[in-house]
Structure 1
Amino acid sequence: MAGQGGSSAAPQRGSGRGVVISDDWPGYSLDLFTYPQHYYGDLEYVLIPHGIIVDRTECLAKDIMQDIGDNNIVVLCVLKGGYKFCADLVEHIKTLSRNSERSISMKVEFVRLKSYHHDQSTQDMQIIGGEDLSKLTGKSALIVEDIIGTGRTMKALLNNIEKYKPKMIKVASLLVKRTSQPDGYRPDYYGFEIPNLFVVGYALDYNEHFRDLNHICVINDNGKGKYKV
């Protein structure tokens, strides 16, 4: 699987549960894919094409079914970036459940976490909709997130949820970003481990733009400047 720059090795399945995309992975040329015309000139390259995202999401659904099937689960979707991944993951789990002797009963709740300003993570994290977390008391919870970097935001959310004494908490994230903290937080399930890049698409945004981009792409300086607020 060649990228835009030639013969660098394709992403590999890691020893954990995610596909590891190396720092020297050149990605795919934008010319190979369709994407909204209003983003022409705003992106460097496609890091993960939409089809590969869909396939990995189905694999994660199988892992989740294998581990926590026969449970009643409260799915806690972290908005806004997690809505697309969550919807697709839940749909895959529902399909597997219908065709399996094991089944998962799911209810979906929503919470918003705010910790980014432009492309920089901030020290402060706000939980919006946290009053609904009391519904997790005594329940099995699956938190669904779009991307985890340092893990600081997720740890803060988990600390908040644990106050309500849920029966079980599992975390699924589409992306895990490699940071300068090698011992940082790792979710129970994740699709891809990616370099420390700012990525957009598949509902991941930059100041509310790029959510309508199907592929996960790396934004360029022109895009950051155009949509800076």
Structure 2
Amino acid sequence: MVEIMVRGEAVERAAAERASVTVQSRWQADAPDEAMSLVAKAHARVAAEARAFAESGAVESWHADRVWVAHHREWVGEGQPQRLVFTASAAVTATFVDVDALGAWIGDLGAEQVHEVSGIEWSLADATERQLAGRARTRAIEDAVARATDYAAAASLASPVITSIREPATGDGGPRPLMAKGRGIEVMAVSDAGGAIELSAGELEVRAAVEVGFTAEADRSGD
């Protein structure tokens, strides 16, 4: 009786279905009221548009922060008194299921200096992720069986029999972006000119890994 322990792996891929983006409305001024007033107005517009997108079905979920203000002293020049600067800020985060609507929105917001668009996080719908994970796990088992069979054949053993199945203690199952890296920088560079932004979600991958134990008897078919 020989024990065989192998690791099976598999990857399933699908196009991203959701995109989460954060729009930060931020402004600096010499007086707190001035900064707060401008940001509050800009933030209210962003929140209203996110709400409208949600009502139309383009946005799956969204939330808005409250406007806050902070201050700091800014160096002006040698021998000059430091300038007291007030910064107001607020953010809206929305998860879009309509990529074209998101591109148009980013292009519109990018034309205004008060708005900053952070990087986009691409993801899959929960049902899609579960489906891909199930397929990946099945294929990981198949991969483990194939590996064990190869080892058994190389060692002149009979077909291996599964004795244990275990998920690795650490793993990277879950969606992983293949093409989304650097997308936020790309968006900011294009949105400065205004107009709709053409976004390409690329693919996400769901990985599965499994450790499978086998036993195999000496092959006596030739006896």
TM range (shorter): under 0.3
Provide TM-score, normalisation by structure 2: 0.23
| Structure with bigger gyration radius | 2
Provide TM-score, normalisation by structure 1: 0.22
Greater relative contact order, per chain length (Cα 8 Å cut-off, separation 6+): 2
Compare the two structures and name the one with the higher strand fraction.
2
